[in-house]
Structure 1
Amino acid sequence: MKSPHAWSEYCKLMTPQLVETCTATPAAAGSAGLARALAAALPEWRFRPVLSRGGWYRLGGVVDGDGRRLADDLEAWAAAELAARDGDLGRLADELAEPARFATRLVGRTHYLVAPVGDGNDDFLQLEIEELQEVRGHRLFAGEPASLEELVDPRTGAGSVTAQPLGLPCYVFRRVQHVGAFLARLRAQKPERAGIQRMLDDWARSSAGAASAFCNHWVVATREHLDRYQQPRLSAQAIATAADAAPPFAAPAGSSGLRLQDALTRFDRAAGYPMAWFFHLLTTKAVPQWAAQAVVEDALAGFAYLPQRDVDTVRDWLHAPYSA
């Protein structure tokens, strides 16, 4: 079994091959085609796609009305042009509003792929690959922007146009990490257990852990940044791989007994594993929190439709709630 440090170093060694594979795989192949390409490049690990998230973008560059590129970095271009005019935004608009210039955006989707490497719930590799497509966005200087931020990324419809693709989408490697190694670093940073760590512990002790691997149903969105003292700060959040398709919770507030049991059973069956209702209560909010109290009250009243280990898991959460 590799140590967290060894896994981190191994992920660094994998990176060049992953970058090459992403670059060589057309986005038209889809996530299944990407998984096949990864299996050929890294046959020792069977990465499989579990989640794709879109709806985000990054600022791109500057193009003219014919699509010719004028700058690769919109923010750097705007800052330099403004500085050349002593910070006079009005003068900048007067001099550069014509001929038409357009901002571009990199419209993206993040594909999460996982590969188990051991028996632990956090013992898996998580690969994040971005699918990016550059599009022509808003016309610069339309709507009289009042600040540099408003110029490069207006929050209203000023200057908006129908986005026009400037090229085909492509895959770009973002990162690969061993989730257990990241969480070990998180534990070293904070003496108290983070929500994601408590969730993993609860997964292991409950019926969910006995039925399925954590990475079959969840990915871990990680973040690392420097604080004002230039010290690294880590955070992690669990994301359900079926968050957008969480089954409905079919019990009104105040339900208990057979009605509540039926709602929990239906939810778990639709999600595909026991105790799904509890873990969605922690994360997606698809299940209301009153259900946890009602489950424990039913158990205390002698109506025990959950195994004792699951009742204990829910009761402990009620005594010390957390979200993940």
Structure 2
Amino acid sequence: MNETQGWSEYCKSLAPAIVESCTKVPVSSGPGALVKALSVALPDWKFRHALSRGGWYRLGGVIAVNGHRLSDNLEEWVENALDQHNGDFALLIDDFADRQLYATRLVGQTHYLVAAAGEGTDAFLQLEIEDLQEMRVHQLFANHANTLDELLDPRGGADKPLPVGLPFYNFRRVQHIGAFLHRMLRQKPEPSPIHRMLADWTGSSAGHTSEYCNHWVIATREHLDRYHQPIFRAQPIATQGGGAPDCEATAGTSGLKLQAVLAHFDRQAGYPMAWYFHMLATKAVPHWVAEAVVEDSLAGFAYLPERDIDVVRGWLHRPYSV
């Protein structure tokens, strides 16, 4: 199961059970009920809820004022209508001006669930399930749009969003994070920032204390460039509720004062060296802190284990951010 292709196929085999769980569990019962349903459907995997990330939407469909649905795909429907009018945007608007048609959008959040999948910092399954609700938004052809984008997704507007139906869960994907990151290395052997972050986790006190997926998930993207070559993106997201702790150190702080600030930050985050990883990924900690820590160590005031000093020193020699 350690082959990239093997994990890809295996994760595909999990999809039907996940989809079935999504259809059975009402959103109103919360992510805990979803986790419980998954534990029954997939008893070999101990998924737990790590993070909910919302505030996004995507285009929905087209409905009439009486609720009759014309299409589930707004963009496709408008493009077909435009083709039927020989690409004449003004004629399209004139023809539909008297019809009360509304665009919908899917408003939602993504729930990240994780499950350990062996040894190693990146050895975990990451499951993404969307919590969606379709909303009726702006009236089509009523806003004097001048472009297709303004017609599909105008900014602002006086229409108050109205729910079309109840919220529902939608399976997005499940993947083995280690396998995804291995595919990144196959495309480009030079380790990317996310690879370096995971290596630093393994080498530091954080990796000796807690699992990476207890504190971070990784938002991944894959698309083809203009040469049809795959491009991979991986962005770590801290799972701590309420955002990163405050770093209450001013530039020039060192010694005992800096030690106290970093110890407090780590306690708030729940693991050692949290200040360092938030410096890399959330910018909650300024970069000068790393230099001050190493300078304190060189001056004989070593309040971090040697392995952590080595990690910070390596970053100073070759800085990166994720």
Q: What displacement does 1:44 show?
A: 0.8
Partner of 1:15: 15
1:52 aligns with 2:52: yes
Partner of 1:108: 108
Partner of 1:173: 171
Q: What displacement does 1:100 show?
A: 2.0
Q: What displacement does 1:244 show?
A: 4.1
Q: Could you list the per-position Cα deviations for residues 268-288 of structure 1 after superposition, in whole angstroms to 9, with x for gaps in the alignment?
A: 000000000000000011111
For 1:143, what is the secondary structure of its paired residue?
A: coil
Q: What displacement does 1:33 show?
A: 0.4
Q: Could you list the per-position Cα deviations for residues 90-122 of structure 1 after superposition, in whole angstroms to 9, with x for gaps in the alignment?
A: 221222122322110001111000000212111
Match for residue 257 of structure 2 among 259, 267, 272: 259
Q: What are the equivalent positions in structure 2 for 1:177-256 lying under 5 Å apart?
A: 177-242=175-240, 244-256=242-254
Partner of 2:150: 150
| Unaligned residue ranges in structure 2 (runs of 5+) | none
Match for residue 164 of structure 1 among 157, 162, 165: 162
Q: Return the letter of the residue paired with 2:141.
A: F
Partner of 1:277: 275
Partner of 2:93: 93
Q: What displacement does 1:87 show?
A: 1.8
Q: Could you list the per-position Cα deviations for residues 159-218 of structure 1 after superposition, in whole angstroms to 9, with x for gaps in the alignment?
A: x41111100111111111111111111110101001111111000100000010000001
- CA distance in 2 between counterparts of 1:49 and 1:252 reads 35
Partner of 1:119: 119
TM-score, structure 2 as length reference: 0.97
Q: Which moved more, 1:195-204 or 1:96-105?
A: 96-105
| Unaligned residue ranges in structure 1 (runs of 5+) | none
Q: What displacement does 1:141 show?
A: 2.0
- CA distance in 2 between counterparts of 1:243 and 1:257 reads 30
1:286 aligns with 2:287: no
1:69 aligns with 2:69: yes
Q: What displacement does 1:127 show?
A: 0.5
Q: Return the letter of the residue paired with 2:294.
A: V
Aligned Cα RMSD in Å? 1.3
- CA distance in 2 between counterparts of 1:7 and 1:173 reads 18
CA contact (8 A) 1:243 1:284 kept: no
Q: Could you list the per-position Cα deviations for residues 130-151 of structure 1 after superposition, in whole angstroms to 9, with x for gaps in the alignment?
A: 1111001112123311111110
Q: What displacement does 1:308 show?
A: 1.1
Q: Could you list the per-position Cα deviations for residues 277-302 of structure 1 after superposition, in whole angstroms to 9, with x for gaps in the alignment?
A: 00000001111111111111111111
- CA distance in 1 between counterparts of 2:145 and 2:252 reads 52
Q: What displacement does 1:9 show?
A: 1.7
Q: Return the letter of the residue paired with 2:284.
A: A
For 1:258, what is the secondary structure of its paired residue?
A: helix
Closer, same or farther: CA 190–244 of 1 in aligned 2, 3 Å: farther
For 2:30, what is the secondary structure of its paired residue?
A: helix
For 1:150, what is the secondary structure of its paired residue?
A: helix
Equivalent pairs: percent with the same residue? 59
- CA distance in 1 between counterparts of 2:46 and 2:294 reads 40
CA contact (8 A) 1:145 1:151 kept: yes
Q: What displacement does 1:258 show?
A: 1.4
Partner of 2:321: 323
Partner of 1:35: 35
Q: What displacement does 1:67 show?
A: 2.3
- CA distance in 2 between counterparts of 1:82 and 1:13 reads 40
Partner of 2:83: 83
CA contact (8 A) 1:48 1:114 kept: yes
TM-score, structure 1 as length reference: 0.96
For 2:235, what is the secondary structure of its paired residue?
A: strand
Q: What displacement does 1:243 show?
A: 6.5
